[in-house]
């Protein structure tokens, strides 16, 4: 499930999750990418996702789905389970770089539709959307660096943030420390935290024509394939 400002594809050319579905299908998995309004509250987006997931269950013949969600998509998934009664149809929710504990005020103030502030997430959203015991929750955090951050680059195998994210990365670094250019790293863990990815917010899903480089610190298609295999091996 896509994040804030996400769409099925950009200009009909670049998929949000670039080449992920074909990669999973070639490996024998049944995969879909439901779509919701790009800029909207997670409550609205979850309401739009529900009928699409119903259709996916009917088409696939499955009883439950495994949701893998990027950025705000992780919050949409939590709303779907906790507020819309989907705990009996969602086996697991894996979130990637989701702002579970908010974003620094400088960035959150730019968003007028969905409140991503630390105060809102901690005081309202999280208490209102508790985890359901029938659903397994997993998360991945992420971290990227500016060129000037030598130590950070050494620690992340040279995961350099995209030029379009330099300003936001700097602002978040000053406010909340390590981040992927959009979301603070410390805000991303939720449920069973599986580890830290070395990628920026775009690279996590292959945005901006980021193509797989076997020598890159993060190869997004290989990551999502490994996640599908992990869930299958765990019996989900």
Give the CATH number for residue 26.
3.40.50.1820
Q: Does the residue 103 lie in any domain?
A: yes
Backbone phi, psi, residue 96, to 5°: -120, 115
Return the closest-CA partner of residue 178 out of 155, 209, 205. 155
- 124-129 average pLDDT score: 97
- Give the global pTM: 0.90
**What is the DSSP-derived secondary structure letter of residue 219?**
-
Indicate whether 210 pLDDT > 70: no
Return the higher-pLDDT residue of 177 and 210: 177
Highest-pLDDT range among 162-166, 202-206, 222-226: 222-226
Q: Does the residue 2 lie in any domain?
A: no
Which of the four pLDDT bands, split at 50, 70 and 90, describes residue 7?
A: very low
Q: Does the residue 4 lie in any domain?
A: no
Q: Does the residue 138 lie in any domain?
A: yes
Question: How many CB atoms lie under 10 A from the CB of residue 59?
Answer: 10
**Which pair of tokens denotes residue 44?**
């609205």
Q: How many domains does the chain have?
A: 1
Separation between Cα atoms, residue 50 and residue 47, nearest integer Å: 5
Sign of the torsion formed by the C-alpha atoms of 159, 209, 20 and 92: positive
Return the closest-CA partner of residue 140 out of 90, 176, 79, 190. 190
The residues, ordered by sequence, that sit 6+ positions from 122 with a Cβ below 8 Å of its Cβ are 101, 102
pLDDT at res. 11: 35
Could you tell me the residue range of the domain that residue 152 belongs to?
A: 9-233
Q: Does the residue 3 lie in any domain?
A: no
Question: How many CB atoms lie under 10 A from the CB of residue 52?
Answer: 15
- 60-77 average pLDDT score: 95
Sign of the torsion formed by the C-alpha atoms of 178, 184, 190 and 194: negative
Return the higher-pLDDT residue of 218 and 91: 91
Q: Does the residue 216 lie in any domain?
A: yes
Indicate whether 10 pLDDT > 50: no
- 92-113 average pLDDT score: 79
Q: Does the residue 93 lie in any domain?
A: yes
Q: Does the residue 200 lie in any domain?
A: yes
Q: What is the pLDDT of residues 140-178, one digit of tens each?
A: 999 999 999 999 999 999 999 999 999 999 999 999 999
């Amino acid at each position: 499930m896509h994040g804030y400002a996400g769409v099925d594809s950009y200009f009909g050319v670049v998929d949000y999750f670039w080449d992920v579905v074909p990669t999973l299908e070639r490996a024998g998995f049944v995969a879909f990418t439901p779509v919701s309004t790009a800029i909207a509250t997670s409550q609205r987006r979850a309401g739009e996702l529900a009928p699409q997931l119903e259709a996916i269950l009917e088409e696939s013949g499955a009883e439950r789905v495994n949701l893998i969600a990027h950025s705000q998509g992780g919050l949409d998934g939590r709303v779907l389970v906790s507020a819309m009664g989907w705990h009996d149809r969602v086996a697991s929710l894996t979130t990637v770089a989701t702002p579970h504990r908010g974003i620094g005020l400088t960035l959150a103030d730019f968003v007028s539709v969905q409140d991503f502030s630390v105060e809102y997430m901690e005081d309202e959203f999280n208490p209102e959307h508790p985890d359901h015991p029938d659903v397994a929750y997993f998360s991945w955090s992420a971290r990227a660096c500016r060129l000037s951050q030598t130590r950070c680059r050494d620690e992340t195998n040279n995961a350099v943030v995209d030029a379009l994210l330099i300003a936001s990365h700097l602002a978040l670094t000053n406010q909340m420390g390590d981040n992927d250019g959009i979301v603070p790293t410390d805000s991303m863990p939720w449920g069973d935290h599986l580890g830290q990815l070395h990628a920026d917010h775009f690279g996590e899903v292959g945005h901006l024509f980021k193509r797989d480089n076997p020598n890159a610190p993060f190869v997004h298609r290989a990551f999502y394939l490994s996640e599908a295999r992990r869930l299958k091996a765990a019996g989900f």
